């Protein structure tokens, strides 16, 4: 405890002994120094950290002055609350005064009886923040993963709190030693065997171009996990590594960086780093999507097979378009590819840009399978195409090259009433 440098203290100045009427710069006090009995750091609000501390002050019968002061810390003095516990009726705060030029305040407290009183003091403090991060380790099958949630507390507040309860808004309170200028990463929860879906996504507008292939874009991959689990199961803090896993779906998953690893097929397995992404705040029952990178073994070529305009009157026209997606899956497992199209962007490709109205469109008959075209909105369409696994090599003809089948999907559209 470096009290000589980082004073944040509470002193009780007995009225009878204090020379109170002195100016602020020369306040002379005989004081007792009640120590903290309990500290809890509330990090639930990401914009403001609330510290609650309990101390036992010994009050004289009658008027007491309690001096709370701090140095080298950023306490919002207008947020400081003083609450006597258990004896609220017999101990009353008369007023609180803020001396000039000091980080301090003085409570005038009246006690009906002399004796020790437990009080709770709360305040908002700066430079004591938290953030969350995750480590996701996928099984080799990529069907499940183990998700560890960590809370990192950065204590640059200028105060050391000793053993303090740390509450991040999820999963329980952790009793941790919070030292000065210290960062502490706490394992908040561990979720084992979390089911995941691996999604493959093709997006012509946002996808990265493939060199020398003007009609291709790279396919990207996401892991999707759902924050759901056994209903009603209480969240259990995993204060120690290896503790019994908790279940998802008992609290929202906070925003934070997710580092993603995958196990190889060796025994015992090694882990390889797959990448990282920002995990968005995920309420209970909602999905968290984690971007993994590009899937080089899935190729998609997009070409336009038809682009016909039909004049209606004056500058009003309709445009008939057939977009062809030719796909190949070189992976050993079958997969479903999601093709995303922005209909405004697609319309602009063929009807000209700079429109002040949104696209009005209709799906036409030559579409390969209308049931696979999911209308997310008037502007967003997702096409779900099943791609078979690449053919296995023939054991009898190991040198024979077997290419994956090409899968063709046609999207046949009419953009109506354009000008």
Partner 1 sequence: MNRVLSATIVAVVLLAGVAQARNIDLVTLPPRDTVQLTIYNSENLTLVRETRSITFKKGTNRLEFSWANTLIDPTSCYFRPLAHENEIEVLDTTFPQDRPEVLIWNVDSKFEGQVPVEVSYFTSGISWNADYVMVTNVAETTMALDGYVTVVNNSGEDYEGAQVRLVVGTVNLVEKIAQLAQPPMPAAAPAAPPTPMPVKAAARGAAMRMVLAEAEGTETPVAAGFAAPPKIVKEGLSEYFIFTVEGQQTVKTGWSQRMSSFRAREVPFDVLYRYRPHQYGDKPVRFFLLANDVPHKMGDSPLPDGMIRVFRENGRDGLTFYVAQSSKYISINEKIELNVGKDDQIVYERVVLDLGRQNFIYDENHKPEPIVVGWDETRKWQEEIRNYRQKPIKMEIRHVLPGDVTFGMEVPGLKLYDFHTAEYTLDLPASTKKKFTSDGAFHLGRNQKQNRVKLAGE
> Where on the chain is the footprint of partner 1 (CB under 8 A)?
15, 20-21, 23-24, 40, 42, 44-45, 48, 50, 52, 62-63, 65, 78-79, 81, 92-101, 108, 110, 112, 122, 124, 167, 173, 252, 281, 283-286, 313-316, 357-358, 360, 375-380, 416-417, 419
Pairing of β 219-226 and β 271-279: unpaired
Nearest distance, CB of residue 92 and partner 1, angstroms: 5
Nearest distance, CB of residue 145 and partner 1, angstroms: 22
225 vs 145: CA distance, rounded Å: 9
Q: Around 181, how many Cα atoms within 13 Å sit in the side-chain half-sphere? A: 4
208 vs 210: CA distance, rounded Å: 6
**DSSP 8-state symbol, 19:** B
Q: Which two tokens stand for residue 161?
A: 């709190």
138 vs 146: CA distance, rounded Å: 6
Which residue, 88 or 408, is less far from partner 1 as judged by CB? 88
Which residue, 99 or 229, is less far from partner 1 as judged by CB? 99
Which residue, 332 or 380, is less far from partner 1 as judged by CB? 380
66 vs 109: CA distance, rounded Å: 7
Which residue, 34 or 254, is less far from partner 1 as judged by CB? 254
Which residue, 313 or 397, is less far from partner 1 as judged by CB? 313
Pairing of β 256-263 and β 298-313: unpaired
418 vs 124: CA distance, rounded Å: 58
Nearest distance, CB of residue 22 and partner 1, angstroms: 8
Which residue, 17 or 272, is less far from partner 1 as judged by CB? 17
Nearest distance, CB of residue 158 and partner 1, angstroms: 19
The residue written with tokens 């009080």 in the block is 119
377 vs 374: CA distance, rounded Å: 9
Contact 136, 150 (CB under 8 A): no
Nearest distance, CB of residue 180 and partner 1, angstroms: 23
Nearest distance, CB of residue 118 and partner 1, angstroms: 12
Which residue, 100 or 242, is less far from partner 1 as judged by CB? 100
Q: How far is CA 374 from the centre of its chain?
A: 28
Nearest distance, CB of residue 268 and partner 1, angstroms: 38
Nearest distance, CB of residue 72 and partner 1, angstroms: 22
Contact 84, 91 (CB under 8 A): yes
Task: Specify burial of residue 59 (Cβ count, 10 A radius: 0-12, 13-18, 19+).
Answer: buried
Q: Identify the CA nearest to 62 among candidates 88, 98, 89, 91.
A: 91
Nearest distance, CB of residue 230 and partner 1, angstroms: 14
Contact 38, 55 (CB under 8 A): no
Which residue, 370 or 376, is less far from partner 1 as judged by CB? 376
The residues near 353 (Cβ < 8 Å, ≥ 6 apart) are none
Which residue, 278 or 419, is less far from partner 1 as judged by CB? 419
């Amino acid at each position: 405890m470096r009290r000589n440098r980082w004073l944040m203290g509470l002193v009780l100045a007995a009225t009878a002994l204090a020379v109170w009427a002195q100016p602020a710069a020369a306040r002379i006090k005989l004081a007792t120094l009640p120590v903290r009995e309990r500290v809890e750091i509330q990090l639930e609000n990401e914009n403001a950290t609330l510290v609650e501390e309990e101390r036992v002050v010994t009050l004289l019968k009658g008027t007491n002055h309690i001096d709370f002061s701090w140095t080298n810390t950023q306490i919002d003095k207008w947020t400081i609350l003083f609450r006597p516990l258990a004896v609220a009726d017999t101990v009353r705060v008369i007023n609180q005064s803020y001396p000039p030029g000091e980080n301090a305040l003085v409570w005038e407290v009246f006690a009906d009886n002399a004796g020790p009183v437990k009080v709770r003091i709360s305040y908002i403090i700066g430079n004591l923040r938290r953030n969350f991060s995750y480590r996701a380790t996928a099984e080799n099958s990529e069907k499940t993963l183990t998700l560890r949630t960590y809370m990192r507390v950065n204590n640059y507040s200028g105060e050391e709190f000793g053993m303090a309860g740390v509450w991040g808004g999820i999963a329980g309170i952790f009793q941790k030693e919070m030292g000065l200028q210290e960062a502490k990463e706490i394992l908040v929860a561990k979720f084992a065997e979390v089911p995941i879906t691996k999604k493959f996504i093709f997006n012509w507008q946002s996808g990265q171009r493939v060199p020398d292939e003007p009609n291709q874009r790279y396919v990207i991959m996401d892991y999707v996990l759902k924050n759901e689990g056994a209903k009603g199961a209480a969240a259990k803090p995993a204060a120690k590594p290896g503790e019994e896993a908790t279940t998802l779906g008992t609290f929202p998953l906070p925003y934070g960086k997710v580092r993603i690893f995958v196990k190889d097929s060796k025994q015992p397995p090694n882990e390889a780093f797959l990448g990282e992404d920002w995990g968005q705040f995920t309420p209970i029952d909602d999905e968290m999507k984690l971007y993994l990178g590009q899937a080089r073994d899935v190729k998609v070529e997009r070409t336009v097979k038809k682009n016909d305009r039909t004049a209606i009157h004056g500058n009003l026209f309709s445009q008939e378009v057939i977009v062809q997606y030719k796909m190949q899956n070189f992976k050993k497992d079958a997969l479903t590819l999601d093709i995303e199209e922005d209909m405004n962007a697609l319309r602009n490709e063929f009807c000209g840009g700079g429109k002040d109205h949104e696209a009005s469109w209709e799906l036409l008959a030559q579409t390969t399978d209308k049931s696979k075209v999911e209308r997310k909105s008037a502007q967003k369409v997702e096409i779900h195409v099943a791609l078979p696994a690449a053919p296995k090599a023939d054991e009898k003809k190991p040198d024979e090259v077997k290419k994956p089948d090409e899968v063709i999907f046609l999207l046949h559209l009419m953009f109506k009433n354009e000008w």
